[in-house]
Amino acid sequence: MDLSFNAEERAFQDEVRGFIAKNLTEEMKHATALTPSVFSDPDIGMAWQRALHRQGWGAPGWPVEHGGPDWTPAQRWIFETECARAGVPNVNVMGVKMVGPVIIGFGSPEQKNFYLPRILSGEDYWCQGYSEPGSGSDLSSLKTRAVRDGDDYIINGTKIWTTHAHHANRMFALVRTSDGPRQQDGISFILIDMKIPGITTRPILTIGGDHEVNQVFFDDVRVPVANRVGEEGKGWTYGKYLLEFERGSGIASAKLREGLKAIAGLAESDLTGRAIDSPDIATRISEVEVDIDALEMTELRVLSALQTGQNPGAVSSILKLRNSEIRQAVTRLGADVIGHDALAVEPMRPLYKLNHEPAIPEEMLTVMPEYLNGRAYTIFGGTSEIQRDIIAKMMLGI
């Protein structure tokens, strides 16, 4: 693999840096630095999405005919890396990287024409209706039901751990439309307007004290049949396709590297009494850096496959598994580096909206919230155990 940039790629790198310098405001940068989650608050993330859309860069992984920028794998890697280095906000991941590819792959022409431009522009903000109480890793056991009534489905049930449902105006959901001997065959993929009567969203506060996830209830919610993506009963296929993009279509290594760099900076500072002088801390920083290097090489291979129109396949599970494990290693390291200051947790984020002087320096403010939030990395998007099962089945034939 040739890792050196040619003249055209270096020019593109300069273009990306110029765009970021022009469009990344201090408010966006400060908010992102104080966001412990993988999701930016919508007022920050969607402002950045709109800037990207004006540039024609709103969906780096999409085909050019649907608004993608037609980048090479090297350009995609350059863009993601420069964004990570600059500390730009996360865009609406659920729209651009998850439901967007499903609509492109399986949606009707009407759905593509309506939803894709709204995802690109930031007009729509999406949440994911997958997990239910009792149906997480065993998602095929889901019970939220959609019963056909003329040109509508009537939906009843509940979804849980629904990230940013309190912000979203749209949800993509898996619902049960029929029963049969094989549970997966009775599931359909539905696009839901969150303003429809009968939808109730209740907050769930996580261990870090933040409101990021929710439980959503559906009571006789009428959704047009036209909002079903693809065929009835084929939702399991579309849902798995979406999860491959969720798990393996991004460049996680660049952000992990920046996160490790921040922790290493704290370890070398007087704020932590030079924690780097501990042989254990120094060794762990080096070990994580090597893991990030290995992850980066895998990501580059996947980018090349995506550029040819292939979905990531089983390798997406490898990326999700290693990304989540490395993220947790970085956050554990951060908590150990700042020591007893990790106890000064600021509840009820977002931290960038604090109206008081924090108990510890701002450089340390997100370390413990990131550690607490990061406990979910090996659960959401499919647990680590599920990822290992997928790898074993698809790559090893076990």
Which sequence positions are flagged as catalytic?
246
Contacts of 115 (CB under 8 A, 6+ apart): 99, 100, 103, 107, 124, 191
Query: How many Å apart are CA 58 and CA 61, to the nearest integer?
Result: 9
SS (H, E, C) 335-350: HHHHHHHHHCCCCCCC
Strands 126-129 and 170-176, sheet pairing: parallel
Q: Are 302 and 248 in contact (CB under 8 A)?
A: yes
State whether the Cα torsion 299-124-39-53 is positive or negative: positive
Amino acid at 11: A
Structure tokens at 148: 């056909």
Query: How many Å apart are CA 284 and CA 330, to the nearest integer?
Result: 9
Query: How many Å apart are CA 381 and CA 247, to the nearest integer?
Result: 7
**DSSP bridge partners of 77:** none
The alpha carbon of residue 167 and the mean position of all alpha carbons in its chain are separated, in whole angstroms, by 15
**DSSP bridge partners of 160:** 215
61: closest CA among 236, 324, 315, 244?
Answer: 244
Q: Cα-flanking dihedrals φ and ψ of residue 14, to 5°? A: -65, -40
Q: Are 144 and 137 in contact (CB under 8 A)?
A: no
Q: Which residues of 11-20 are buried (b: 16+ CB within 10 A; e: fewer)?
A: ebbeebeebb
Query: How many Å apart are CA 69 and CA 112, to the nearest integer?
Result: 17
84: closest CA among 251, 242, 310, 205?
Answer: 251
Q: Are 226 and 110 in contact (CB under 8 A)?
A: yes
Query: How many Å apart are CA 251 and CA 265, to the nearest integer?
Result: 23
Query: How many Å apart are CA 203 and CA 349, to the nearest integer?
Result: 14
